[in-house]
Amino acid sequence: MDERVQKYEDKMQKTIANLESELGTIRAGRANPHILDRITVDYYGTQTPLQQVANITVPEARMLQIQPWESSLIKKIEKAILTSDLGINPNNDGKIIRLVFPELTEERRKDLVKDVKKKGEASKVAIRNIRRDANDSFKKLGKAEDISEDSIKELEEDVQKLTDKYIKEVDSVVEKKSKEIMTV
Protein backbone atom coordinates (compact mmCIF):
# COMPACT_ATOMS: atom_id res chain seq x y z
CA MET A 1 0.00 0.00 0.00
CA ASP A 2 1.14 3.52 -0.82
CA GLU A 3 2.64 5.28 2.23
CA ARG A 4 0.57 8.37 1.37
CA VAL A 5 -2.55 6.26 1.91
CA GLN A 6 -1.09 4.39 4.91
CA LYS A 7 -1.02 7.45 7.17
CA TYR A 8 -4.76 7.95 6.61
CA GLU A 9 -5.43 4.29 7.38
CA ASP A 10 -3.55 4.74 10.67
CA LYS A 11 -5.83 7.65 11.53
CA MET A 12 -8.90 5.53 10.74
CA GLN A 13 -7.58 2.71 12.95
CA LYS A 14 -7.14 5.20 15.79
CA THR A 15 -10.74 6.32 15.31
CA ILE A 16 -11.93 2.71 15.72
CA ALA A 17 -9.70 2.20 18.79
CA ASN A 18 -11.10 5.40 20.30
CA LEU A 19 -14.67 4.26 19.67
CA GLU A 20 -13.98 0.88 21.29
CA SER A 21 -12.46 2.49 24.37
CA GLU A 22 -15.41 4.91 24.66
CA LEU A 23 -17.89 2.05 24.37
CA GLY A 24 -15.94 0.10 26.99
CA THR A 25 -16.88 2.73 29.56
CA ILE A 26 -20.62 2.22 28.98
CA ARG A 27 -21.93 -0.24 31.51
CA ALA A 28 -24.10 -3.01 30.15
CA GLY A 29 -25.52 -4.53 33.33
CA ARG A 30 -22.39 -6.58 33.95
CA ALA A 31 -19.47 -5.40 36.02
CA ASN A 32 -16.68 -4.16 33.78
CA PRO A 33 -13.55 -2.69 35.40
CA HIS A 34 -13.10 -0.39 32.37
CA ILE A 35 -15.98 1.83 33.48
CA LEU A 36 -13.59 3.07 36.18
CA ASP A 37 -10.92 4.09 33.61
CA ARG A 38 -11.81 7.78 33.73
CA ILE A 39 -11.98 8.04 37.53
CA THR A 40 -9.06 9.77 39.22
CA VAL A 41 -8.30 10.08 42.93
CA ASP A 42 -6.40 12.79 44.79
CA TYR A 43 -3.23 10.94 45.79
CA TYR A 44 -0.83 13.18 47.70
CA GLY A 45 -1.98 16.24 45.78
CA THR A 46 -1.91 14.60 42.33
CA GLN A 47 -4.94 13.38 40.38
CA THR A 48 -4.07 9.71 39.83
CA PRO A 49 -6.06 7.07 37.88
CA LEU A 50 -7.91 4.71 40.21
CA GLN A 51 -6.12 1.66 38.72
CA GLN A 52 -2.79 3.07 39.96
CA VAL A 53 -3.84 3.31 43.62
CA ALA A 54 -6.05 0.24 44.05
CA ASN A 55 -6.59 -3.34 42.97
CA ILE A 56 -9.86 -3.79 41.02
CA THR A 57 -11.45 -7.24 40.80
CA VAL A 58 -14.75 -8.73 39.59
CA PRO A 59 -15.81 -11.28 42.25
CA GLU A 60 -19.33 -11.66 40.78
CA ALA A 61 -21.00 -10.87 37.46
CA ARG A 62 -22.57 -7.65 38.76
CA MET A 63 -20.02 -6.53 41.35
CA LEU A 64 -16.69 -4.73 41.28
CA GLN A 65 -14.37 -4.82 44.26
CA ILE A 66 -11.84 -2.04 44.81
CA GLN A 67 -9.07 -2.64 47.29
CA PRO A 68 -6.92 0.48 47.83
CA TRP A 69 -3.25 -0.06 48.54
CA GLU A 70 -3.51 2.50 51.35
CA SER A 71 -6.58 2.45 53.61
CA SER A 72 -6.43 6.25 53.86
CA LEU A 73 -7.64 6.39 50.24
CA ILE A 74 -11.01 4.72 50.89
CA LYS A 75 -12.88 7.99 51.53
CA LYS A 76 -11.23 9.70 48.52
CA ILE A 77 -12.07 6.80 46.19
CA GLU A 78 -15.64 6.75 47.46
CA LYS A 79 -15.96 10.49 46.86
CA ALA A 80 -14.49 10.19 43.35
CA ILE A 81 -17.01 7.46 42.47
CA LEU A 82 -19.94 9.44 43.91
CA THR A 83 -19.00 12.61 41.98
CA SER A 84 -18.51 10.67 38.71
CA ASP A 85 -21.32 9.99 36.22
CA LEU A 86 -21.46 6.25 37.06
CA GLY A 87 -24.66 6.48 39.08
CA ILE A 88 -23.58 3.75 41.52
CA ASN A 89 -23.31 4.05 45.28
CA PRO A 90 -20.15 2.49 46.70
CA ASN A 91 -20.29 0.37 49.87
CA ASN A 92 -17.22 0.01 52.04
CA ASP A 93 -16.28 -2.11 55.04
CA GLY A 94 -13.23 -0.07 55.99
CA LYS A 95 -10.86 -2.10 53.79
CA ILE A 96 -12.67 -2.79 50.52
CA ILE A 97 -15.13 -0.80 48.40
CA ARG A 98 -17.82 -2.76 46.61
CA LEU A 99 -19.80 -1.48 43.63
CA VAL A 100 -22.98 -3.46 43.00
CA PHE A 101 -24.48 -2.91 39.55
CA PRO A 102 -28.27 -2.98 39.49
CA GLU A 103 -30.06 -4.78 36.68
CA LEU A 104 -30.73 -2.28 33.86
CA THR A 105 -34.33 -1.45 33.01
CA GLU A 106 -35.56 -1.90 29.43
CA GLU A 107 -35.84 1.87 29.03
CA ARG A 108 -32.29 2.45 30.31
CA ARG A 109 -30.98 -0.20 27.92
CA LYS A 110 -32.65 1.54 24.97
CA ASP A 111 -31.15 4.88 26.04
CA LEU A 112 -27.70 3.29 26.23
CA VAL A 113 -28.12 1.80 22.73
CA LYS A 114 -29.06 5.28 21.41
CA ASP A 115 -25.91 6.64 23.04
CA VAL A 116 -23.82 3.86 21.46
CA LYS A 117 -25.29 4.66 18.03
CA LYS A 118 -24.52 8.38 18.50
CA LYS A 119 -20.89 7.56 19.29
CA GLY A 120 -20.82 5.29 16.21
CA GLU A 121 -22.14 8.09 14.00
CA ALA A 122 -19.52 10.47 15.38
CA SER A 123 -16.82 7.92 14.49
CA LYS A 124 -18.20 7.58 10.95
CA VAL A 125 -18.08 11.36 10.57
CA ALA A 126 -14.47 11.32 11.77
CA ILE A 127 -13.59 8.63 9.22
CA ARG A 128 -15.27 10.58 6.43
CA ASN A 129 -13.36 13.70 7.49
CA ILE A 130 -10.12 11.71 7.23
CA ARG A 131 -11.13 10.67 3.69
CA ARG A 132 -11.83 14.30 2.80
CA ASP A 133 -8.45 15.39 4.18
CA ALA A 134 -6.75 12.62 2.21
CA ASN A 135 -8.47 13.59 -1.05
CA ASP A 136 -7.62 17.28 -0.49
CA SER A 137 -3.96 16.44 0.11
CA PHE A 138 -3.85 14.23 -3.01
CA LYS A 139 -5.25 17.07 -5.14
CA LYS A 140 -2.62 19.46 -3.75
CA LEU A 141 0.02 16.81 -4.35
CA GLY A 142 -1.07 16.52 -7.98
CA LYS A 143 -0.58 20.24 -8.53
CA ALA A 144 2.67 20.47 -6.57
CA GLU A 145 4.48 17.37 -7.80
CA ASP A 146 3.03 16.94 -11.28
CA ILE A 147 1.50 13.53 -10.56
CA SER A 148 -0.87 12.21 -13.24
CA GLU A 149 -4.61 12.44 -12.75
CA ASP A 150 -4.84 8.65 -13.01
CA SER A 151 -2.42 8.23 -10.10
CA ILE A 152 -4.46 10.66 -8.01
CA LYS A 153 -7.69 8.86 -8.92
CA GLU A 154 -6.03 5.61 -7.84
CA LEU A 155 -5.02 7.10 -4.48
CA GLU A 156 -8.55 8.44 -3.98
CA GLU A 157 -10.02 5.02 -4.79
CA ASP A 158 -7.69 3.38 -2.26
CA VAL A 159 -8.81 5.83 0.42
CA GLN A 160 -12.46 5.23 -0.52
CA LYS A 161 -11.96 1.45 -0.08
CA LEU A 162 -10.40 2.09 3.34
CA THR A 163 -13.28 4.40 4.25
CA ASP A 164 -15.84 1.73 3.31
CA LYS A 165 -13.91 -0.90 5.29
CA TYR A 166 -13.70 1.22 8.46
CA ILE A 167 -17.33 2.40 8.23
CA LYS A 168 -18.33 -1.30 8.17
CA GLU A 169 -16.07 -1.90 11.18
CA VAL A 170 -17.77 0.95 13.09
CA ASP A 171 -21.14 -0.63 12.28
CA SER A 172 -20.02 -4.02 13.57
CA VAL A 173 -18.54 -2.54 16.79
CA VAL A 174 -21.78 -0.60 17.42
CA GLU A 175 -23.89 -3.67 16.63
CA LYS A 176 -21.87 -5.85 19.01
CA LYS A 177 -22.11 -3.32 21.87
CA SER A 178 -25.85 -2.81 21.26
CA LYS A 179 -26.44 -6.57 21.45
CA GLU A 180 -24.41 -6.75 24.65
CA ILE A 181 -26.51 -3.98 26.21
CA MET A 182 -29.84 -5.49 25.16
CA THR A 183 -28.94 -8.98 26.41
CA VAL A 184 -30.57 -9.48 29.78
DSSP code of residue 47: E
Q: How many C-beta atoms lie closer than 10 Å to residue 46's C-beta? A: 8
pLDDT of residue 29: 65
pLDDT of residue 162: 92
Instruction: Quote the mean pLDDT of the chain.
Output: 86
Interval 151-165: pLDDT, tens: 888 888 999 999 999
Interval 76-118: pLDDT, tens: 888 888 887 777 788 888 888 898 887 778 888 888 889 899 9
Could you give all domains of the chain from N- to C-terminal order, each with its CATH number?
3-24+105-182 (1.10.132.20), 33-100 (3.30.1360.40)
**Helix locations, the chain, DSSP H:** 3-24, 74-83, 106-145, 149-182
Ordered DSSP codes for 81-120: HHHSSS---EEE-SS-EEEEPPPPPHHHHHHHHHHHHHHH
pLDDT of residue 105: 81
DSSP code of residue 1: -
